[in-house]
Amino acid sequence: MGVGSEFWKFRRDMPEFSSSVILGCAVVTLRSFLVQPGNLPRISDPDLQLEILSAPPVVQTGDRIEFRSMAFGFRQRAAHIYQSVSEFEIVEHQIEGPLRVWQHRQILTRMDEDRTRLMDEVTFEPPGGMLGFMLTEARIRESLEKSMLLRYQILHDLITAGGLC
């Protein structure tokens, strides 16, 4: 079975990770920032060395992005499809890459006019084979925790400096 959108819907036994933050920014402004793939390297862990190879300026449902990153000492190439892009939700899933399954769902909730809760939910399945010995569920979770904390801090700093909202 391929890693299409139907695959992850039926695999509820996969590891999941979630985190959230409340940011001092309007929903519409934060969403506008998040749907621009060019902003991804700005809010990613510098150790990942994230490089966007191919992407539209603003993603919409069905769009594909291709990128390279450094993870666990390996330079990886991956491609994701944006399964859903709406006013309050952005969902992407891996169609090519090192993991068997990777889905990232971002949920934006309006707290008030100038505050938004950003929730990140990731469903994943570690790779098999030799790579699976290095990219274990525990290591992926640890990496996600570190990456999300850093991402939230960068977003907070951008907002505070006036570079986002």
Q: Is the pLDDT of residue 5 over 80?
A: no
Strands across the sheet with 74-85, in order? 16-23, 115-125, 101-112, 89-96, 74-85, 64-71, 51-54
Structure tokens at 39: 């902003």
Range in 67-71, 84-88, 152-156 the model is least confident about: 67-71
Q: Is the pLDDT of residue 136 over 50?
A: yes
Question: What distance in Å separates the CA atoms of residue 40 and residue 91, rounded to the nearest whole number?
Answer: 15
Return the CATH number of 5-160, one of 1.25.40.10, 3.30.530.20, 3.40.50.1100, 3.10.20.30.
3.30.530.20
Q: Is the pLDDT of residue 74 over 80?
A: no
What contacts 1, CB < 8 A, 6 or more positions away? 7
pTM exceeds 0.95 for this model = no
Q: Are 31 and 136 in contact (CB under 8 A)?
A: no
pLDDT digits (tens, 9 = 90+) for 76-101: 899 999 999 999 999 999 999 888 99
Domain ranges of the chain: 5-160
